[in-house]
Amino acid sequence: MATIEECRTALGKLSDNMQGAEGEVRAAAALDRSVSCHITDLDVTFTGRLTGGRIEVEDTRPGPPAERAQIRLAMAGDDLVALVGGELNFATAWGSGRVKLEASLLDLFRLRKLL
């Protein structure tokens, strides 16, 4: 089982990957939205903002998200680490229910370029 620190590191790597993206992916990452990522097996939530092509983690709290972020992710810590490490395909994980992504329809349309 991934640790909180491994999950934080994975989110940092995801943020670095997004900032280094080009073209349509870079444009999709350029949203300014609140973000939460609930790590279900650790019952901890990372909250922050997607801004300037990066995910800026501002807080880590126990339990599910206290507030409803504009973009909401939920998954096990091992799945987050595997997704960022390229060992797990997002579409497959999302389709099987291992990863949950909630956002407005317009944001989902934009975010699909990141996936």
Residues of the chain with pLDDT under 50: none
The model's pLDDT over 3-27, given as tens digits with 9 standing for 90+, comes to 999 999 999 998 888 777 677 766 6
- The CA distance from 86 to 90, in Å, is 9
In one-letter notation, the amino acid at residue 42 is L
pLDDT at 57: 95
State the maximum Cα–Cα separation within the chain, in Å, rounded to a whole number.
36
The amino acid that residue 109 corresponds to is F
Indicate the pTM of the whole model. 0.90
Pairing outcome for strands 44-51 and 99-102 = unpaired
C-alpha 51/C-alpha 43 separation (Å) is 25
Q: How far apart are CA 35 and CA 53, in angstroms?
A: 13
Topology (CATH) of 4-111: Nonspecific Lipid-transfer Protein; Chain A (3.30.1050)
